[in-house]
Amino acid sequence: MRKEHLSVLTVAVAVASTAVTDTAYAHGFAGKRFFPATLTTDDPFVADELSLPTISSIKTPAGDDGPATRETDFSVDVSKRVTENLGIGFGATYKDLRPDGGSTQRGFDNVAANIKYKFYQNDDHETILSVGADWDIGHTGSKRVGAESFSTVTPALFFGKGFGDLPDSAMYLRPLALTGSVGIGIPSRSSDTTVSDDGDVNIERHPHTLEWGFAIEYSLPYLQAFVKDVGLREPFNQMIPVVEFALSTPLDRGGGRTTGTVNPGILWAGRYMQLGVEALVPVNHQTGSKVGWIAQIHFFLDDLFPTSIGKPLFAN
């Protein structure tokens, strides 16, 4: 990671630690279980939240379309509760593409929107289930950075399960939690046809995709508060080690192999904000040739502004 990004993250940790060391209040709870906001897989809960910024960088491999490229993304995402269990969200990403031996290309990717409804919560078993859909809106980004001219809608199921209900014989497994999602990416058209300057006809197919991912978390705050006080002090008593798996599998139209990353990292959750950093480890050569990274500063708007912009638009 670049030194300037490390410095920003270090300062943010210091400021947040001095401001508050309590676990978040309203955001992402099922019973005693606090589910943190994950960086590369979708969360199961509905909340008022702001990710500003999320920065990631990874080297994509060379292919038929061009040379190996260092891609660095700068993203902002905001989510808003309409009711206690229904939320909407929007996201934008600015891309910096630096191909080997080529000129740098910069621009915005397509705007993204989403809707999510939490239909089940069991506090005793620390379980949340939601359904929703993501919408990648075609023609809203720059072709220079590969923004698609077609839209993709991805209906999905989201889940979260904490293991605080395990027996005493497995007490040190109680801080574990699993969150994730599974959905089907549906493109608005099946293919695009282009004609090159020399008259060659090229057909690019757009497959349906299985978008799936999950995160394995071990909550040190949960360990300290509900299992055994092992003597952790700030900032370690607010940390949640995590491994995320973010994967995409083409289902038809010659889409090729599964691509994605495995992302080990650490999250720090305070009352009003969360900080996270993870490695991006490609699952195969089709995904990338080198390990990348992702870092995020995430604000809990429902805890920062509980009586104004952090509350649902309509009460149940």
% of the chain with per-residue pLDDT over 90: 80
**What per-residue confidence (pLDDT) applies to 112?**
98
For tokens 């300290």, the residue is: 224
Within a 10 A sphere around the Cβ of 13, how many other Cβ atoms?
16
SS3 for 189? coil
pLDDT in tens, 160-188: 999 999 999 999 999 999 999 999 999 99
274 neighbors 300 (Cβ within 8 angstroms):
yes
In the chain, which ranges are continuous DSSP H helix?
A: 3-19, 220-222, 301-304
| Distance separating the N- and C-terminal Cα atoms of the chain | 45
Residue 203: is it exposed, middle or buried by C-beta count within 10 angstroms (0-12/13-18/19+)? exposed
For tokens 């705050």, the residue is: 221
Q: Does residue 316 carry a pLDDT above 80?
A: no
| Cα distance between residue 309 and residue 149, in whole Å | 34
pLDDT in tens, 214-249: 999 999 999 999 999 999 999 999 999 999 999 999
Instruction: Please state the pTM of the whole predicted model.
Output: 0.89
**What per-residue confidence (pLDDT) applies to 199?**
74
How distant is the alpha carbon of residue 252 from its chain centre?
Answer: 25
Q: Does residue 22 carry a pLDDT above 70?
A: no
| Mean pLDDT of the 109-113 span | 98
| Closest alpha carbon to 274 in 238, 234, 232 | 238
Within a 10 A sphere around the Cβ of 108, how many other Cβ atoms?
16
CA dihedral sign of residues 299, 303, 305, 306 = positive
Q: Does residue 206 carry a pLDDT above 50?
A: yes
Categorize the per-residue pLDDT at 17 as very low, low, confident or very high, splitting at 50, 70 and 90: very low
Residue by residue, DSSP assigns 238-282 as GEEEEEEEEEEEE-STT--S-EEEEEEEEEEE-SSEEEEEEEEEE
CA-based R_g, the chain, Å: 20
> Angle 56-274-73 (CA atoms, 0-180°, nearest 5)?
15
SS3 for 223? helix
pLDDT in tens, 50-79: 999 999 999 988 877 788 999 999 999 999
- How far from 164 is each of 20, 222, 228, 272, CA to CA, in Å? 25, 9, 13, 24
Categorize the per-residue pLDDT at 274 as very low, low, confident or very high, splitting at 50, 70 and 90: very high
| Mean pLDDT of the 260-274 span | 96
Label the pairing between strands 201-205 and 112-122. Answer: unpaired
Q: Does residue 25 carry a pLDDT above 70?
A: no
